[in-house]
Amino acid sequence: MLRNWFVLSLATILLVGCGSSSKTDEAETNETDAETKADSDQASTRLKLPEGLDQEMVEAYNSVQAEPSGRELTMLASISQAVASGLAQRQDDRADDFFLQTDELIQQAIAAGMEVPPQAMASVSYNAASVHLIRGNTEEATKRLQKAVESGFKVADLQRDTRMAKLLETEGFNAKLTKWVAVAQEKIRAHAMEDLANGETFPFEFDLKDINGEPVSVAQHKGKVLIVDVWGTWCGPCLAELPSFIKLQEQYGPKGLQIIGLNYERGPDEKQNRQLVQKVVDQVGINYPCALGTETVQGQIPDFGGFPTTLFIDRSGKVRMKAVGLHEYEYLEAIVKTLLEE
């Protein structure tokens, strides 16, 4: 199965249509011959997939012969990225070519009107920057790195990457990096404010016991800004978001923020589920209460779309918005600060 930052159904691939039916048979034949040759030339420029891949992936990759639509370009980029990642894990030098191909396909998809998630853009751009740097193309590496950081690539990860030492030591580079980070953070905050302005509200309440047996509810925190993190210890993105919640509770708790974790675990019974949560609480240092959620509580969330789901509740107890998936600290902080200032 193809698992990547793009989730596309291969059954919905749109194939490019044929020429106009108003032409004569001879003209149609000539045009078809020309198109076939052009398609063949274009297909030949695409990198050949390595052996051993899923057959459905290979067929989808090879089936796109003509000028691809934006949807097809994202599908091709998804396959190219998956191949590049697999080759990189095996330390196969062919990975670099697939990383660059992915970047090129993404640029073409954007030009065709497709929207690329920031996290995907950051990953693709950073991989391309690394390859360009290795190959001595510092100027292009800098351009791609700028796009990666402005799309949300973490500076700490950049600084840990020994491949980037050459750029980091370049005169004036830190000033550029600071500017890129500022642009990225502003984009994230603007996105958060737009989501908050368009946020849906719905009735939401619970009265539970946390994993230590203490009562926890929405009502008891009325007058505070409340974040309810619906998560599970089995969920990678949920775990990745925990440091942001811990930092928010530490920094804004004294100003009126309270975070509550509602856990949905997969253990055989309640006792074991509590133990699973307690283990992560101890390991990560969670500084806010966590309770085992119920189906009734989850059922109050309209169109529940997966884990993590974050609810933002204002001081009056009104749900102001729902955010699904992993979000940057700056995104979460922007919403918290706005609600606290109301």
pLDDT in tens, 48-76: 999 888 888 889 898 887 788 998 999 99
Report the alpha-carbon angle 96-15-41, nearest 5: 50
* Residue 39 scores a pLDDT above 80: no
Instruction: Note whether 217 and 207 are within 8 A (CB).
Output: yes
pLDDT in tens, 77-89: 999 999 999 999 8
- More confident site: 340 or 66: 340
- What would the DSSP string read from start to end of 181-224? HHHHHHHHHHHHHHHHHT--------EEEBTTS-EEESGGGTTS
Q: Per the structure block, which two tokens stand in for 96?
A: 């670099």
pLDDT in tens, 87-102: 998 999 999 999 999 9
* Residue 174 scores a pLDDT above 90: no
Instruction: Note whether 5 and 125 are within 8 A (CB).
Output: no
Q: What is the mean pLDDT of residues 218-232?
A: 97
CB atoms within 10 A of CB 338: 18
Enter the pTM of the model.
0.65
Mapping DSSP to helix (H, G, I), strand (E, B) and coil, where does residue 260 land?
strand
Omega of the bond leading into 308 within 30 degrees of 0 (cis): yes
**Residue 326 amino acid letter:** L
What's the pLDDT at 165?
A: 80
* Residue 40 scores a pLDDT above 80: no
| pLDDT confidence tier of residue 6, bands split at 50, 70 and 90 | very low
Q: What is the domain partition of the chain in residue ranges?
A: 10-193, 207-341
| DSSP code for 162 | G
CATH superfamily of 207-341: Glutaredoxin (3.40.30.10)
Backbone angles phi, psi at 123, to 5 degrees: -65, -50
Lowest-pLDDT range of 73-82, 98-107, 114-123, 229-238: 114-123
How do the residues of the chain divide into helix, strand and coil, expressed in percent and rounded to 5? 55, 10, 35
- 272 to each of 18, 223, 278, 293, how far by Cα in Å? 60, 34, 10, 14
Instruction: Note whether 239 and 233 are within 8 A (CB).
Output: yes
- More confident site: 166 or 150: 150
| DSSP code for 229 | E
Tokens 């796009």 belong to residue: 147
* Residue 14 scores a pLDDT above 60: no
| pLDDT confidence tier of residue 341, bands split at 50, 70 and 90 | very high
Report which of 97, 72, 74 is spatially closest to residue 87, judged by C-alpha positions: 97
Q: What is the mean pLDDT of residues 144-156?
A: 86
* Residue 28 scores a pLDDT above 80: no
Q: Which residues pair with 227 in a beta bridge?
A: 259, 312
